[in-house]
């Protein structure tokens, strides 16, 4: 069998964070792949919401954007942004927000707006879309991204979506939910300390050395004396990912 790729470990780890019966607002890319994997394995009653208003879709042939009609296949509802962001997120019925990020800092604050180049020039990206609503109002937040020092800075270049700003309690800031709970990267899984609200190392992916993670993280994080290994995907999870969910390696490749 082909060697297990880091992306496959990432989406399997993300899928295992989801529980049957939960309601999840999901972003495109690896979050989408992880949620579909969860629905086809241990969480068949998982309710998936796209911010544009599509509900409980069963994507085919790895759609590549919200305007790609393959993502709407067998959806049970197609409403709009106001329904997802208002009647769901703001009403408090979303259990999990599953997001990507350009940057995320030690307090789980997310930047999807801009990056500053060494020359001082600013590069602008998509911005918030529904990300701020998701991070502010979902019961818990999971972020999936590449593990690079520049993507895990001490402080984000722009705070698009809040985690624990300044290490403060979300309740004190008027934010709903538990905030960010997991950062799943291609090297490790990080969590957040309940007291300091700072990122902590939970597990290393098989074959990844602790020093590699430390050197590629832009902030100091709490590290246990013995770091467990992130579980590998099961043979059935690998079959689903490679043969049904993303056979063309659009996101996993």
Per-residue pLDDT of 166-208, as tens digits, reads 999 999 999 999 999 999 999 999 999 999 999 999 999 999 9
Angle at 77 between CA 72 and CA 83, to 5 degrees: 110
Taking the C-alpha atoms of residue 162 and residue 101, their distance in angstroms, rounded to an integer, is 12
Q: What is the DSSP-derived secondary structure letter of residue 87?
A: I
Q: What three-state secondary structure class fits 66?
A: coil
Residue numbers annotated as active site: 51
Taking the C-alpha atoms of residue 117 and residue 103, their distance in angstroms, rounded to an integer, is 14
User: What pLDDT, on a 0 to 100 scale, did the predictor assign at position 62?
Assistant: 78
CB 151 within 8 A of CB 187: no
Domains and CATH numbers, the chain: 6-245 (3.40.1080.10)
CB atoms closer than 10 angstroms to residue 15 = 25
pLDDT in tens, 109-159: 999 999 988 888 999 998 998 999 999 999 999 999 999 999 999 999 999
pTM of the model: 0.94
């Amino acid at each position: 069998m082909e060697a297990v790729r880091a992306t496959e470990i990432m989406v399997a780890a993300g899928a295992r964070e989801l529980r049957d019966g939960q309601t999840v607002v999901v972003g495109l890319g690896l979050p989408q792949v992880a949620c579909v994997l969860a629905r086809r394995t241990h969480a068949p009653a998982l309710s998936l919401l796209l911010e544009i208003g599509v509900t409980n879709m069963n994507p085919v042939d790895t759609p590549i954007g919200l305007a790609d009609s393959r993502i709407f296949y067998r959806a049970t509802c197609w409403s709009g942004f106001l329904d997802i962001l208002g009647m769901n997120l703001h009403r408090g019925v979303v259990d999990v927000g599953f997001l990507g990020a350009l940057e995320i800092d030690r307090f789980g604050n997310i930047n999807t707006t801009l990056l500053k180049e060494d020359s001082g020039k600013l590069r602008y990206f998509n911005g918030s879309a529904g990300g701020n609503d998701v991070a502010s109002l979902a019961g818990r937040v999971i972020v999936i991204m590449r593990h690079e020092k520049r993507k895990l800075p001490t402080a984000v270049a722009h705070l698009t979506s809040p985690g624990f700003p300044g290490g403060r309690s979300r309740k004190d800031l008027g934010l709903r939910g538990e905030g960010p709970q997991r950062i799943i990267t291609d090297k490790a899984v990080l969590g957040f300390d309940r007291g300091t609200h700072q990122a902590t190392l939970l597990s290393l992916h098989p074959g990844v050395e602790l020093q590699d993670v430390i050197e590629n993280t832009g902030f100091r994080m709490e590290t246990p004396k013995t770091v467990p290994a992130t579980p590998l995907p099961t043979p059935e999870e690998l079959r689903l990912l490679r043969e049904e969910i993303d056979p063309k390696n659009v996101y996993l490749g």
